[in-house]
Amino acid sequence: SQQGEEDPQALSIQEGENATMNCSYKTSINNLQWYRQNSGRGLVHLILIRSNEREKHSGRLRVTLDTSKKSSSLLITASRAADTASYFCATESKDSSYKLIFGSGTRLLVRP
């Protein structure tokens, strides 16, 4: 069974707009990671945020983590058509510091 719930399940925006995806999880974690998956391809690691961090940036990506609410958000600014993909959050729990537990993903469509 999967740990996380992602919201929304699907998101359609115009190129240039910002996209925000949310992830909730259930257990105490060491870190939370965001991955992107293009149709029919493997997962690409985007960003890792540790449990003692609240916000992290990487290029057009901004990730926040609220451990009190067991939630995280991924913001993609100035979206591009190439950002069209599925986005997954994955948590590494304190109980097992290796395996990742994935959410069900948000399918993002960026319209040109």
Query: Which of 66, 81, 96, 111 lies at the binding interface for another protein (CB under 8 A)?
Result: 96
Q: Is 25 in the site for another protein (CB under 8 A)?
A: no
Q: Is 35 in the site for another protein (CB under 8 A)?
A: yes
Instruction: Quickly list DSSP for 67-92.
Output: TTTTEEEEEE-S--GGG-EEEEEEEE
Dist CA 93 CA 27 (whole Å) = 7
Q: Is 83 in the site for another protein (CB under 8 A)?
A: no
Q: Is 92 in the site for another protein (CB under 8 A)?
A: yes
Chain centre to alpha carbon of residue 108? 11
Nearest to another protein of 48, 109 (CB atom): 48
Dist CA 109 CA 6 (whole Å) = 16
- Residues in contact with another protein, total (CB under 8 A)? 26
Q: Is 63 in the site for another protein (CB under 8 A)?
A: no
Question: What are φ and ψ of residue 78, in 5° steps?
Answer: 45, 60
The residue ranges that bind another protein (CB under 8 A) are 2, 4, 30-31, 33, 35, 40-45, 48, 88, 90, 92, 96-105
